[in-house]
Structure 1
Amino acid sequence: MDASTPPDIALTRFHLRRLHALWRSAGWPCQDLLEVELLALGLLERLAEDGRERLRVTDAGVAALAAGRQRNRHAFDAHEALVQRVARHLQRSGRIVYTELKLRAQVAMVSPTQAVAVAPSGPEGAAALLPSTEALPPGLGFGDEPPEGAAAPGRQRWVQARPDVFSIRYTSVEAYLQPLVHEIKVRRGDLLSDLRKPEKRAAYLGMASECWYVLAEGIGGPEDVPAECGVLIATAAGLECARPAPPRAGRMRFDLWMALARATPLAADEDDAQGLLG
């Protein structure tokens, strides 16, 4: 290949992150292979100032950053649109829906590819949403911070749990609440990245009686998602069930109740409210 011929290098999110970091900084080089590729692509250029070398984002690099931002914005808009679609569907089913819950969960790593939620200590631990076959030490459950002086065992870790859609049934009977988690995916890359995080799924399974993946049509199917989760495919016609989620018996823990008490549920459309009335 001629030295003047642009190399065949695929631009990844790691390249764009480094470009963005250099755009916001003074441009001091890390001198790693990522910068070598950006220089070879013509997205960076080297400048010598006062005997020191720094990097500057070229016009081509600025164009690449702008294009990457547009792609991310499009993906974000598509994700939010599907979140709202699922949320409205759940509201019409008579459920209270939350879309911005932020929780912390303690999970136990059984293996590098398997994790399970840790039951909270105390009487509620026996009723936590865990598989009945798992024998786990008592843990700390969900909350903003672990109790003072508490320490997690070596094989346990804290996970930030932010379900795209969390919902409970509108009922006055605790046993009928049926908490659900719906995780929304509109890009296959995001789906595959998420599936490599067993601790995230364990956190969701620890707070819900069912966990569902809602996939945009064409990015995947039930063969991609672990069997403990259900799969919905979002098509133009509606939400199609590709595989039901296995139900899990259990009660909502007190710490999750407190998180819901501090959160604001998604406001229902007037049309949805009228539909529930008649």
Structure 2
Amino acid sequence: MWRSAGWPCHDAIELDLLAAGLLERRWDAAERETLRVTDAGLQRLAEARQRHQAAYTEHEALVARVAREMQRAGRIAWRGLSLRAPLRAEPAELAPPAHNGGGIETATAAAPARSPTVWAVAMPDVYSIRHTTVEDHVEPIAHEIKVRRADLLSDLRRPEKAAAYLAVSSQCWYVLREGIAESDEVPPAYGVMFASASGLVVARPAPRRAMRLPLAVWMALAKAHPEPHDESEGSAWLADTATPGG
């Protein structure tokens, strides 16, 4: 309504806003009805925007914090990636039994149909790999950060999102602001960390799976810029490839 011409919809939401004094009805010279946001409505919009901005700022601060922790662990971290994730489509139904000329079912076995690959987009808040020269040791990890319970519940209602994360990572974690959920509310395919002022606490470790990164993910990483390393942390990120005594 704030950015529209104000034409009424006459729906239940509009009725509630009018009753709350957040909208008001007006008529022009041609007796055409329009709606206008009241001063109280503007105040409510501003308050909602401030709450959203505060949540966004808190979310981004926690994303940066997790990325730094991955760097301290000797990993290369990215924020805000869009990764093509290969998923398996639903298995094809088995072919019905064949019949011979007499109408009797035969026991001929057909080769199982291969499930086609479909593609989804995974957008983890933090994505990291080990700093290594051995491809099998890359161990990609995806972290999804949530600071509001509503955002977490929205994610959990989308199983295809979880499948996309798991398709591009050997571990997948939810990092939750302390107090918004319990660890048992998150599916067992994810690890769970709680973020508090004192640090990140592992509530449940993530299951580990051996995997090799798909070519599409390597291409995305090659085109993206990893999180800048904090020079104050020294050279700890080289620990994975350092030679003892060298």
Using the size of structure 2 for normalisation, the TM-score is 0.83
Report the counterpart of residue 59 of structure 1 in structure 2: 39
Aligned pairs for 1:89-238 (under 5 A) are 89-105=69-85, 107=87, 137-141=115-119, 159-238=120-199
CA contact (8 A) 1:215 1:221 kept: no
- Cα RMSD between the aligned structures? 1.7
- Structure 1 residue runs without a partner (length 5+): 1-21, 111-134, 142-158
**1:114-157, Cα deviation, whole Å (9 max, x unpaired):** xxxxxxxxxxxxxxxxxxxxx9613154xxxxxxxxxxxxxxxx
Change (3 A) 1:271 1:187: same
CA contact (8 A) 2:75 2:237 kept: no
**In structure 2, how many angstroms separate the alpha carbons of the residues matched to 1:277 and 1:171?**
9
Change (3 A) 1:173 1:277: closer
**In structure 1, how many angstroms separate the alpha carbons of the residues matched to 2:224 and 2:114?**
30
CA contact (8 A) 2:78 2:226 kept: yes
C-alpha displacement of 1:239: 0.9
C-alpha displacement of 1:236: 2.0
CA contact (8 A) 1:107 1:199 kept: no
Aligned pairs for 1:12-23 (under 5 A) are 22-23=1-2
The 3-state SS of whatever aligns with 1:31 is: coil
* Counterpart pick for 2:24 among 45, 49, 53: 45
CA contact (8 A) 1:184 1:215 kept: yes
- Structure 2 residue runs without a partner (length 5+): 91-112, 240-246
**In structure 2, how many angstroms separate the alpha carbons of the residues matched to 1:221 and 1:109?**
32
C-alpha displacement of 1:273: 3.2
CA contact (8 A) 1:221 1:231 kept: no
Using the size of structure 1 for normalisation, the TM-score is 0.74
CA contact (8 A) 2:74 2:237 kept: yes
Percent identity over paired residues: 56
Change (3 A) 1:109 1:196: farther
Q: Which runs of 4+ in 1 moved over 6 A?
A: none
Correspondence 1:86 to 2:66: yes
